[in-house]
Structure 1
Amino acid sequence: MPKFAANLTMMFNEVPFLQRFAAAAKAGFTAVEFLFPYESDVQQLARCLSENHLQNVLFNLPPGDWLAGERGLAALPGREEEFKASVALALEYARVLGTPRLHVMAGIVPDGISRPHCLETYCKNIDYAAKELGQYGIDLMIEPINPRDMPGYLLNSQAEAHAIRKMLGRDNLKVQMDFYHAQIVEGDLSTSLTNNLDGIGHIQIASVPARNEPDDGEINYPYLFALLDKLGYQGWVGCEYRPRGKTEDGLGWLPKSV
């Protein structure tokens, strides 16, 4: 069965962030991911991982001003220096935490700026980030996000993400396939997964349409988990879902999958 990582931004919200590491370990997870670690001291995060025998498998580069509605800097013309600084900060955390892959959010296309201009900026910034991370053996993830949840987001489809990956040709540039987003935008998950497996660096799961535990809705997760095994997927599967209630009460799907 696949290897599952708890997403500590969305799961175990019954306790403060730093206490979620112990909660995840107690629930049986050996790995975690989270969105943004930057409000916590990196050494304190490292201790939380070590004390709970956990591996951090993924987090995101700084997204800009999240509270103001920004969802990434990579595609924003005129913000290149800020983007480079975000790469440097993420690298500081990743090197201390031993994180093998980082996700960079593309951003929302600003009013008054054409999508082609943003796409050109995005590709240049992605190429820069992949080169920087590659010096430390870290993979860079790009992830399509559905426009229902994030209107105006630059990158929506797996097909476009893989086209960008192939065009840039960086060995450490991979696509993050969140089955939740991919189902909403494109569907045909098993074919997309099979055809693009070599370029997929991380997978995430949630039910559709509600983004809850992967035990109901329109995605057949037992089938996809078996397919991942059949295809020989060696990466992690991040549990980026919103628990319906208390996190532990919703983990009944997990023993059936491991």
Structure 2
Amino acid sequence: MFELAVCAEMVFRQLPFVERVKKIAALGFQVEIWDWTKHDIDALAATGAKFSSMTGYIEGDLITEAGAQRLIETAEQSIGIAKQLNCPRLNLHGTGLNDRGLPVAPTPIVTGAMWLAAQHTLQRVAELGRRADVVFCLENLNTEVDHPGVPFAKAADTLALVSAVGSAHLRLNLDLYHAQIGEGNLIELLRRALPFVGEIQVADVPGRCEPGTGEIHYPAIARALAQAGYRGTVGLEAWASGDDARALQRFSDAFAV
């Protein structure tokens, strides 16, 4: 019922990256990647894997003039890589992140002017997506555990921005791991957000491992998605709690509605 994808950055980490991609594809999943500048794109394209999403910028932010311009410039570069990989979705965050997932420029207070600037920047991003026929997805993050200081982090924030822009080329990457930590009430959140969702990502809480290792009852999430008519991509962005192949099977089982 759903298209299932797996983040190659987080599983089969004992293998070289290209071999991870091949392994995930051989198990029947689409593949997600993060920062494309760290990978051999020609080698990834040659694997024949179906890529679901990738990071859609290298650096920049939504709120400063220089940061927004840099985000647009690197989003344009990312579109070229996405075309090479035939990857339909490019991921965005409220601001640029470093290698540890922390904001390059922490923003503990978000003003009204920042909201307006972010909306304007995302309108520019959506126009890029329209011209290139790709979809940029704005991801919610949690600030309590993994990403302190990121602006526009909660699902409520990303939903407000995406709905304000109102473009089919700017959607939500609704990450339920982050939403559980930051907001909870996941099924109601899904019902509100689904008209704007481009992709859903999952991991369990606590620990950010595969479904079945924590407090989120993902089979109930899967049933709610099916009942609401969602037929899109669900991506596993999680560490394996033990055996990697077993973790992927648990993910698949949780969404076998």
TM range (shorter): 0.7 to 0.9
- Give me the whole-angstrom Cα distance separating, in 2, the residues matched to 1:38 and 1:109: 17
Residue 99 in structure 1 maps to residue 87 in structure 2: yes
Q: 1:122 aligns with which of 118, 121, 133?
A: 118
- Give me the whole-angstrom Cα distance separating, in 2, the residues matched to 1:243 and 1:195: 30
Amino acid of the residue matched to residue 253 of structure 1?
R
- Give me the whole-angstrom Cα distance separating, in 1, the residues matched to 2:22 and 2:168: 35
Amino acid of the residue matched to residue 17 of structure 1?
F
- Give me the whole-angstrom Cα distance separating, in 2, the residues matched to 1:216 and 1:43: 36
Of residues 137-146 and 156-165 in structure 1, the stretch that sits farther from structure 2 once superposed is 156-165
How far is the alpha carbon of 1:83 from its aligned partner? 1.5
Residue 88 in structure 1 maps to residue 85 in structure 2: no
- Flag structure 2 segments of 5+ consecutive residues without an equivalent: 96-102
Kindly report which structure 2 residues correspond to 1:29-178, keeping only aligned pairs within 5 A, or say none. 29=29, 31-48=30-47, 50=48, 54-64=49-59, 73-107=61-95, 108=103, 110=105, 115-116=110-111, 117-148=113-144, 149-178=146-175
- Conserved in 1, the CA contact under 8 Å of 2:8 and 2:33? yes
User: CA 1:142/1:111 → structure 2, altered by over 3 Å: closer, same or farther?
Assistant: closer
- Conserved in 1, the CA contact under 8 Å of 2:236 and 2:251? no
User: CA 1:8/1:111 → structure 2, altered by over 3 Å: closer, same or farther?
Assistant: closer
- Secondary structure of residue in 2 paired with 1:166: helix
Give per-residue Cα distances to partners, 1:181-214, cap 9 Å, x unaligned: 1111111111111122111110000000110111
- Secondary structure of residue in 1 paired with 2:178: helix
Amino acid of the residue matched to residue 141 of structure 1?
C
- Give me the whole-angstrom Cα distance separating, in 1, the residues matched to 2:208 and 2:94: 21
- Conserved in 2, the CA contact under 8 Å of 1:61 and 1:105? no
How far is the alpha carbon of 1:16 from its aligned partner? 1.2
Amino acid of the residue matched to residue 105 of structure 1?
H
User: CA 1:110/1:137 → structure 2, altered by over 3 Å: closer, same or farther?
Assistant: same
User: CA 1:74/1:221 → structure 2, altered by over 3 Å: closer, same or farther?
Assistant: same
- Give me the whole-angstrom Cα distance separating, in 1, the residues matched to 2:252 and 2:193: 28
Amino acid of the residue matched to residue 134 of structure 1?
R
- Give me the whole-angstrom Cα distance separating, in 2, the residues matched to 1:214 and 1:60: 23
Query: In the alignment, which residue of structure 1 is the partner of 2:201?
Result: 204
- Give me the whole-angstrom Cα distance separating, in 1, the residues matched to 2:193 and 2:92: 20
Identity across matched positions, percent: 27
Amino acid of the residue matched to residue 32 of structure 1?
V
- Secondary structure of residue in 1 paired with 2:42: helix
RMSD after superposition: 2.1
Query: In the alignment, which residue of structure 2 is the partner of 1:21?
Result: 21
Aligned length: 246
Of residues 31-40 and 172-181 in structure 1, the stretch that sits farther from structure 2 once superposed is 31-40
User: If the length of structure 1 is used for normalisation, what is the TM-score?
Assistant: 0.87
Amino acid of the residue matched to residue 155 of structure 1?
F
- Flag structure 1 segments of 5+ consecutive residues without an equivalent: 65-71
User: CA 1:111/1:162 → structure 2, altered by over 3 Å: closer, same or farther?
Assistant: closer
Query: In the alignment, which residue of structure 1 is the partner of 2:100?
Result: none
